[in-house]
Structure 1
Amino acid sequence: MILVTGATGTVGREVVGRLAAGVGVRVRVMARDPARVAWAGAGVEAVAGDYGDPRSLAGAVRGVETAFLVTARVGGGCDAAFVAAARAAGVRRVVKLSAAAVTDGGAGDLITRWQRGSEELLRASGMEWTLLRPRAFMSNSLSWAASVRGEGVVRGLYGQAAHACVDPADVARVAVRVLTEDGHAGRAYTLTGPQALSAVGQTRELGRLLGVALRFEELSPEQARAAWAGRYPPAVAQALLDSAQRLKAGAKAGVQDTVSRLTGRPARTFGQWAAAHIASFGPVTAPSGATPDTGPRPPDTGPRPPDTGADPAP
């Protein structure tokens, strides 16, 4: 039995779909509201589970051999609660979705410290463990969709900074491989896309696909903090700003071939991801001064605003 947490998130949903399509794989999904994962189909067992409810956690992990662990409540104790329940239930192996920033010695922000602590809990648990450490997801660019459609504009921090972001579907493909075969115990895999591309470069790629010359507007750190203030606690907003500074310094530009090595297929480029999701960005209401994109644009050498790489909470 494989248990998937975070099934309503970007990666978790993909993992469930791929596991459910497999032959001879028993899949259980944990969600606070099982009705939210009804899309998984009759072949997937959906159970109620909450990291803050030890009894529900005990029921969710009962009879499970392997678990996919996704948490997103920074500093909320979710990893500790799950690891304790899984160990007590005799779960053999846990595959955790972490973040690539944990390998950066210069990263000391709140989010990265939380991810490092969560990894250490799992290492000390006595269970087999595997860590998946993606860079930010290409799908984070969907946050630009409203301004692209309405204004023909993308706004972000450090638009020329290179970022090797990854397609979450590729992260899911790696997760399924690790969950369903042996040989990955005690391994940590950093997952990136096949290229380092800037937010300016992503903007140009979206514009090419939409047939509109989109504009990138650089945000100041103060503007970014103000935008995040409505969504995150101050400490998390500061962590995102710290992450953006590392992006600007080039800490997120490294490309690795882990996806292709583990899955046998090359990681998707941002252009491939964008082409598959372009309907989310259009049609564009042409702003004043926008012109049709009638020809190729020069390549951009450098990628995008900061992100933790973490999935939404289940």
Structure 2
Amino acid sequence: MSGLQLVVVTGATGAVGRHVVRRLAGTARVRLIVRDADRARALGLTGDGEGGPEVVTADYGDLERLRPAMEGADAVFVVTANPLRPEHDEHIVAAARGGGVRRAVKLSWLAVADPAADDLVARWNRRAEEVLRRSGLDWTVLRMRSPMSNTLAWAATIRAEGVVRAPGGDARTPCVDPRDVADVAVLALTCTGHEGRTYALTGPRPLSPREQAQVLSRVRGTPVTFEELTPEQALANWLRKLPAPVARALAEAAVRRAAGGAEDVEDGVRAVTGRAPGTFETWAADHGDLFR
């Protein structure tokens, strides 16, 4: 085990990061940087006994705490989640450089490639990518479309009422299975040949929220109806849960999707893994119990 690469995983409890951790088991030594160690344990990420992932509790805003977490590592999976804290990416990259890390794989968003996307989240991701490219590390950027797991936000109302409430009911996007993104990430983290590459990762075909609700209805075996929220209602919902600048950025992104700005299918998953990306139907069937 000691001869294996050591990979540091940030965002380890997130939709993609948790699958990266599981896929690295047995192929690399893993060190998780998490804010909440109890959450990592609850997700079964820490393992039991010798050989399980090492867990470091740290906030990405604390550069001094991050520095020792990178010591001796070969690669780092870079995931940040707060567009109001752009220094988080800077701190992770600086700590990686100081710790002797050679390779960094950054999880970003495909909206970065859209010249019309100028909201807070798009600008934040562009800046984070640039931080990585200027770092001197062997970098790889993974630009993902919306993950299929975003539909878990509907699970409570589906279970209670058989209803999905969302904006842009007919706005189609080729959402991607987080497990496919994790497969690409693991290959980029542990294999050569991905240095200086940017991969666009989507699912195999665009689906609208209304169509996703129909898939979930078939998975449940009982009807799921779709109720479209107006842009104003959607923004009000986001404002109740998120800082205002982030809520407005999501509203701007929703407008772009409604105009067809996120429909294109990309071939990044196949290019890296050699296989087609998974469908929403498969993802929904695998997670059906969460909607029943």
Please give the range of the TM-score, normalised by the shorter of the 2 chains: over 0.9
Which of the residues 234, 238, 248 maps onto 1:224? 234
Corresponding position of 1:95: 105
Q: Percent identity?
A: 51
Which of the residues 63, 75, 88 maps onto 1:78? 88
The 2-side partners of 1:236 and 1:33 are apart by 23
CA contact (8 A) 2:63 2:95 kept: yes
Q: Number of residue pairs matched? A: 280
- The alpha carbon displacement at 1:56 in A equals 1.3
Corresponding position of 2:35: 32
Instruction: Verify: 1:2 aligned to 2:7, yes or no.
Output: yes
Corresponding position of 2:20: 15
Stretch moving more, 1-10 or 206-215: 206-215
Corresponding position of 2:290: 280
CA contact (8 A) 1:31 1:37 kept: yes
The secondary structure found in structure 2 opposite 1:28 is strand
The 2-side partners of 1:21 and 1:159 are apart by 42
Could you state the TM-score of these two structures normalised by the residue count of structure 2?
0.93
Corresponding position of 2:134: 124
The 2-side partners of 1:70 and 1:149 are apart by 31
The CA deviation string for residues 232-259 of structure 1, in whole angstroms up to 9 with x for no partner, is 1111111001100110111111111211
Could you state the TM-score of these two structures normalised by the residue count of structure 1?
0.86
| 1:183-198 mapped onto 2 (5 Å cutoff) | 183-198=193-208
The 2-side partners of 1:234 and 1:55 are apart by 30
Structure 2 unmatched runs, 5+: 1-5
CA contact (8 A) 2:200 2:267 kept: no
The 2-side partners of 1:86 and 1:149 are apart by 43
Corresponding position of 1:211: 221
The CA deviation string for residues 154-194 of structure 1, in whole angstroms up to 9 with x for no partner, is 11111111111001011101101111100111101010000
Matched residue type, 1:214: V
- The alpha carbon displacement at 1:87 in A equals 1.4
- The alpha carbon displacement at 1:151 in A equals 1.4
Matched residue type, 2:192: D
The 1-side partners of 2:38 and 2:229 are apart by 39
The CA deviation string for residues 208-231 of structure 1, in whole angstroms up to 9 with x for no partner, is 122222211110011001111111
The 1-side partners of 2:224 and 2:11 are apart by 34
Corresponding position of 1:170: 180
CA contact (8 A) 1:7 1:30 kept: yes
- The alpha carbon displacement at 1:264 in A equals 2.2
The secondary structure found in structure 2 opposite 1:82 is helix
Which of the residues 59, 64, 76 maps onto 2:68? 59
CA contact (8 A) 1:132 1:188 kept: yes
Matched residue type, 1:52: G
The 2-side partners of 1:275 and 1:21 are apart by 27
The 1-side partners of 2:206 and 2:233 are apart by 25
Instruction: Verify: 1:49 aligned to 2:58, yes or no.
Output: yes
Instruction: Verify: 1:113 aligned to 2:123, yes or no.
Output: yes
* Structure 1 segments (4+ residues) deviating >2 Å: 32-40
Which of the residues 245, 264, 270 maps onto 2:274? 264
Cα RMSD (Å) of the superposition? 1.2
The 2-side partners of 1:227 and 1:34 are apart by 29
Corresponding position of 1:311: none
- The alpha carbon displacement at 1:35 in A equals 4.2
Structure 1 unmatched runs, 5+: 283-314
The 2-side partners of 1:179 and 1:45 are apart by 17
The 2-side partners of 1:179 and 1:249 are apart by 35
CA contact (8 A) 1:48 1:60 kept: no
